[in-house]
Structure 1
């Protein structure tokens, strides 16, 4: 429906038009009825009407002044004026302003207003169709140009540079000044890309609006050109002369800052830039661009979008041995979930601080987390609650440690909640407490009598109750939990079999090996 607004200082006219006209029947939603132009102007700024019926001869700001003021804000509203016979000169001015219709208050009738509403509705519909057609043509034109430029960029990056003069000619066709001898390559990456996807619904739309915005922003810059590489990444070439007096690198950085501010303010899209070094040779420019496109990992540990210069890139680390940390952190998370501790942030922040301090490669961080999540699901028996492929996809899409932290908090909070639901489902409280005690004390000797006493139960009764509720003997459950933990330790660390046996409360290594072989069919040495 189209939005309509009535403006008239005559209360009787306002009441007539408001109550006697069935606005929705004619395709309109009446958003307001104002008794003066000042209120109508403020309301229009908040919610611009498509149709405005306004009196001309109002005190203060008259109808003509109101129409002029509103047209300076937005040219699309259509106007119908109300006037008396002695307002004819005003009416002539209104016609010059493009007012669509004119009603004398002396002849104001329901049928007359209904006819005007019907006619204007058809015009609004036609305008809407034309506007959509123009928008579609504009979209296709921008998209076609963007596709050609993107193909040029991919060809440039992937094929040998047989004819450098040809590359320069093509760049000139796209609007880059061919007279400059040197270039500065720049890569641009959308910061927290998932936020942009949420706002604009799909990748094609994100790429289109950024491409369109970059075209407009660089329209007055004959020495700068942009290319899309993917919905998330874009490239720039800044043409310049190697003249120390002009400092072309500072000029390029200023444009990047302007683009960064504008995209954030207008589109609510944040971007980081990776600026290369001034170069003349096309092969060197190509190699720089390839490196800059892979440099977006630099922004992974940034709290906000930044502009990185080539000398500011820091190497990200690939730790040789995560196992000591992994083993301890897994145990920490395991205790958190078993205990039902909903305050998960300290545990999540410990992980974030560990990887951020070492600036570990994002792909390694994501692999670490995916393995951790799989371990949690298997250990706590709620793997059916998660789609592992979807979870892996979510992790891979994250381009910032802040997003990763938020995702981990949600995952752990849900894991705690699921564990609580699973624990309480068709089990007595005594059994839940016994299982939690075992999971939290795998490093100690655990006996049936000890646990029964902690629960203030007779040992024989507790043994029968546990078997009835879980389907296995209590000692079988204890051994199974310890053997599963032993396997994790064997796979995740360099500890000896004897060390692992002691860590799980077994003084006798031979007895531990026997239990392990009975459970898995192979001795612990086969798992190392």
Structure 2
């Protein structure tokens, strides 16, 4: 039932309205009656009514002031003003406060009040119904958001980004802001098969992980979006609006908090692989692909080689030498060369060229960068040498590869 508060310093009016109206029959409960505005305000601070019927001229706090204070706390409050005053000024003040009715006491008719209350009940019922519909819609959107984000991430990884605007519009609906730099992070559930066996459902694991990480992000007040990718893998996108050092600490703190919550509360272990900052859709995509490739192609447990591979991926945009990476790892060059070939199965130079050529194919497929721009982006000093290397690796010159891709897209009806 909806609550009604009566306020009037004329006690006979309070008694008349209290006794002559069948409150229960109208679906209402007479919460309280008051002979001054201050008393009404004090109770409303603890127990706000849904409907206020108040006189204007009262001691301590008049009806206009009471209405104003209650409206500040509860803007949807329905109000009827009772008054002996037929002055335009009072009515004008009432209108400014969005008061529903202004009734003169000398024209007071109980049937009119009953009809007004019925209208109020109808209004409140409609508001309640709208709120329920909005809540149900919000719940549906929230439940579907995880699935929509998972589909978006998979589409970003596996399919070309033909339109930057379309990608940004979809990303925006899922919480990723356009023209915003993000740190792309791959999240991994350790011992996934054991976790899956415990939950007995991949969907339940995904929902659980998404819910817990979203809660940590909210508690830490970090601008970040987390979405499932596949099986044990998910992605975390952290906004980089703060200064570099400050943001690095925030990201490390967030990752540590997520690991701590899962480990201490649920006994689950998480690992994180951090990529590089990216802003453009295609750069975000390439970061995601690099992180997936880095994780999938781990063939050894050697920390030095894993660190070397991560260093190579992070510096694929420039010329990388074996000596440079060995120095980075504080290893002898000859030893590092032998160790790398033993663990990876191919020599350092061939491995780096393969990664660069795979990146070149991604850029030729996914972007409109010129061949020269792509050559520069991969650290080649001249386009001629890049063309020769690409043809040796792929069997086609870069322009032939791109033209062939366009032809295949047209054959299969893919829009560019």
Structure 1 length-normalised TM: 0.39
Q: Which has the higher contact order (CA 8 A, sep 6+)?
A: 2
Structure 2 length-normalised TM: 0.48
Give the greater-gyration-radius structure (CA).
Answer: 1
